[in-house]
């Protein structure tokens, strides 16, 4: 039994959440749906940790679905790069599920909760598949499974705010255009190389490069993934989607959805198209880096002027995704490992922040605007302190996870000697303190308004938030695990690109 599970881990990671989803949809008891979701996401966390322990030494697991040999059959590949992403995603997914139970009670009707967790499990399973699959077309299928399920989750925010429906619709249309762009690209690549398996495509591209069709395919594939990863200027669906979705959904999407797309972007750039390094280098330095910096500034400046807390942090997510994309765009092993470090840390930071906002909303029973949070630090001290820790981590204060991200990113930029980029990153970091200060001042410095009702804190909400907040401190003090795993991940991406050694 044990060995069956071990040899089939990659398939189980996708199959277990996807199979539990329809079971959850059948039941209308809220607690049963939640229990199924906890089992599903908890099992995927265990599977991901097992995969991580199997691959951390540099082993590359290749799983053949249905025993069809690649390149004909669909292959799942787990190496140190994808297993790190999987651990981050499944860990935060599990914590988000723990917190979801109380967060959804005010926002979603009791009888819909079973279906809510069904979509929740579909998002998780789809995103895990997206990270593992080594088949270019299969990737599109997982992209759409997770996208359609996230649209359902976002639309369920209509119970409290009808704008969630419009946000969901826009994400559906923009996401579908992005996914279709990706499919067009795959079509061109298939026409030129005759293969859909990523490693096989990578080995065939040198023969076909120089043909314009390959470049067109490359452009379409990257453009499609940029939409899904919410990189400026195709991030426009993200702020509305994150801010009108139910609080629990914002937590899940902010911590895992764009991370999977960013990982896919890294793999397309550095593995699939490793056979034409000159074109990829041009794309990195002339497209990805300027867009990343644009995203950092647009996100930060929009966040400074935003009064709605959830939307503010959604804009801040655009900026943070910009930092990750910048790490990928610089294209050196050090910068890519900095990007992986920030994928993990940003998932921790934003997961904690959106959970805490969910806690405020649940306690206040109203949308969290700046005004409604006046003096909340004294009214909900436990939740607000965890929120403060995650906020400081976002600003990059030493002894928090965010500091480690900034440290390694700045080091990687220094290595490339691009001082303009360095100064822009430092300026934007300083600007991010502006919007954080704006919130912290309202929460902690201003007196509690007179006649405000006493609020009670629910352990089911603040315990998961505190686990994430302590994670932020833990990875700020002892980042060695994340740093070495990210280094392995970057090496793996580049190692494969140099012609396939492990």
Partner 1 sequence: MIEQLGDSWNYIIVIILMMTGLFIVIARTNLIKKLIGLSIFQTSVFIFYISLGKVAGGTAPILDGNPGTLYSNPLPHVLILTAIVVGVATTALGLALILRINEAFGSIEEDEIIAAKLNQSLARPKRPLDKHSD
Contacts with partner 1 by CB under 8 A lie at 109-112, 115, 137, 140-141, 144, 148, 151-152, 155-156, 158-163, 165-166, 168-169, 172-173, 176-177, 179-180, 183-184, 187, 190-191, 367
Q: Which is nearer to partner 1, 260 or 425 (CB)?
A: 260
Q: Which is nearer to partner 1, 91 or 239 (CB)?
A: 239
Half-sphere exposure of residue 101: CA atoms within 13 angstroms, side-chain side: 21
Sign, CA dihedral 273-279-282-286, equals negative
Q: Which is nearer to partner 1, 115 or 406 (CB)?
A: 115
Beta strands in 246-357 (DSSP E): none
R_g of the chain computed on alpha carbons: 21
**Closest distance to partner 1 from the beta carbon of 64 (Å):** 18
**Closest distance to partner 1 from the beta carbon of 452 (Å):** 20
Q: Are 214 and 186 in contact (CB under 8 A)?
A: no
**Closest distance to partner 1 from the beta carbon of 47 (Å):** 26
**Closest distance to partner 1 from the beta carbon of 155 (Å):** 6
Q: Which is nearer to partner 1, 146 or 317 (CB)?
A: 146
- Nearest Cα residue to 158 out of 99, 101, 240: 240
**Closest distance to partner 1 from the beta carbon of 454 (Å):** 25
Rounded distance, CA 414 to CA 426, Å?
12
- Residue 459 Ramachandran class (φ > 0 left, ψ -120 to 50 alpha, else beta): alpha
Two structure tokens written together for 458: 């629910």
**Closest distance to partner 1 from the beta carbon of 147 (Å):** 9
Q: Which is nearer to partner 1, 56 or 308 (CB)?
A: 308
CB pairs under 8 A, 24+ apart, for 492-496?
Answer: 492/58, 492/60, 492/79, 492/80, 492/81, 493/81, 493/266, 493/267, 493/270, 493/271, 493/336, 494/270, 494/333, 494/336, 496/79, 496/199, 496/202, 496/270, 496/271, 496/274
Residue carrying the six token digits 């969901």: 168
Rounded distance, CA 389 to CA 471, Å?
10
Q: Which is nearer to partner 1, 211 or 491 (CB)?
A: 211
**Closest distance to partner 1 from the beta carbon of 449 (Å):** 20
**Closest distance to partner 1 from the beta carbon of 156 (Å):** 7
CA 167 to chain centre: 19
- Nearest Cα residue to 412 out of 495, 292, 485, 324: 324
Q: Which is nearer to partner 1, 327 or 358 (CB)?
A: 358
User: 3-state DSSP call for residue 109?
Assistant: coil
**Closest distance to partner 1 from the beta carbon of 219 (Å):** 15
Q: Which is nearer to partner 1, 5 or 173 (CB)?
A: 173
Q: Which is nearer to partner 1, 185 or 471 (CB)?
A: 185
Q: How far apart are the first and last CA of the chain?
A: 29
CA 405 to chain centre: 15
- Nearest Cα residue to 380 out of 397, 404, 401, 364: 364
Two structure tokens written together for 102: 């109380």
Q: Which is nearer to partner 1, 163 or 411 (CB)?
A: 163
**Closest distance to partner 1 from the beta carbon of 29 (Å):** 15
Q: Which is nearer to partner 1, 116 or 494 (CB)?
A: 116
**Closest distance to partner 1 from the beta carbon of 180 (Å):** 5
Cβ neighbours of residue 469 under 8 Å, at least 6 residues apart? 352, 385, 386, 387, 389, 390
């Amino acid at each position: 039994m044990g060995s069956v599970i071990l040899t089939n881990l990659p398939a189980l990671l996708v199959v277990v959440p996807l199979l539990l989803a329809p079971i959850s949809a059948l039941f209308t008891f809220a607690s049963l749906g939640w229990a199924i979701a906890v089992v599903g996401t908890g099992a995927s966390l265990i599977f991901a940790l097992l995969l991580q322990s199997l691959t951390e030494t540099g082993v590359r697991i290749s799983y053949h679905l249905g025993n069809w040999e690649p390149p004909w059959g669909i292959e799942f590949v787990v190496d140190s790069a994808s297993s790190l992403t999987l651990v981050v995603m499944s860990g935060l997914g599990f914590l988000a599920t723990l917190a979801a139970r109380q967060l959804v009670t005010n926002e979603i009707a009791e009888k819909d909760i079973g279906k809510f967790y069904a979509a929740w499990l579909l998002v998780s399973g789809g995103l895990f598949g997206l990270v593992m699959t080594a088949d270019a077309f299969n990737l599109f299928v997982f992209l759409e499974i997770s996208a359609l399920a996230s649209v359902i989750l976002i639309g369920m925010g209509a119970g409290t705010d009808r704008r969630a429906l419009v946000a969901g619709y826009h994400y559906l249309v923009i996401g579908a255009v992005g996914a279709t762009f990706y499919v067009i690209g795959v079509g061109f690549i298939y026409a030129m190389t005759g293969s859909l398996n990523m490693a096989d495509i990578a080995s065939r591209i040198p023969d076909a490069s120089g043909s314009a069709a390959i470049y067109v395919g490359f452009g379409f594939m990257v453009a499609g993934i940029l939409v899904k990863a919410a990189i400026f200027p195709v991030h426009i669906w993200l702020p509305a989607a994150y801010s009108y979705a139910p609080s629990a959904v914002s937590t899940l999407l902010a911590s895992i959805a764009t991370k999977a797309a960013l990982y896919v972007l890294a793999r397309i750039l550095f593995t699939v198209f490793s056979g034409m390094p000159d074109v990829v280098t041009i794309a990195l330095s002339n497209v990805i880096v300027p867009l990343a910096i644009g995203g950092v500034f647009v996100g930060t400046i929009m966040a400074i002027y935003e009064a709605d807390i959830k939307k503010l942090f959604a804009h801040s997510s655009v900026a943070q995704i910009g930092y990750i994309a910048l790490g990928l765009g610089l294209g050196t092993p050090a910068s890519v490992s900095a990007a992986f470090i920030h994928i993990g840390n940003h998932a921790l930071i934003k997961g904690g922040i959106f959970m805490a906002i969910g806690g405020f909303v649940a306690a206040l029973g109203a949308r969290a605007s700046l005004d409604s949070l006046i003096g909340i630090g004294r009214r909900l001290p436990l939740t607000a302190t965890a929120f403060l820790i995650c906020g400081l981590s976002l600003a990059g204060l030493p002894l928090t996870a965010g500091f480690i991200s900034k440290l390694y990113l700045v080091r990687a930029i220094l290595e490339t000697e691009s001082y303009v980029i360095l100064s822009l990153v430092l300026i934007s970091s300083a600007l991010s303190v502006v919007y954080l200060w704006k919130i912290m001042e309202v929460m902690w410095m201003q007196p509690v308004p007179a006649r405000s009702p006493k609020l009670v804190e629910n352990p089911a909400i603040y315990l998961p938030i505190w686990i994430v907040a302590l994670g932020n401190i833990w990875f700020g003090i002892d980042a060695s695990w994340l740093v070495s795993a990210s280094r392995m991940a970057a090496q793996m991406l580049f190692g494969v690109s140099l012609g396939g050694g492990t």
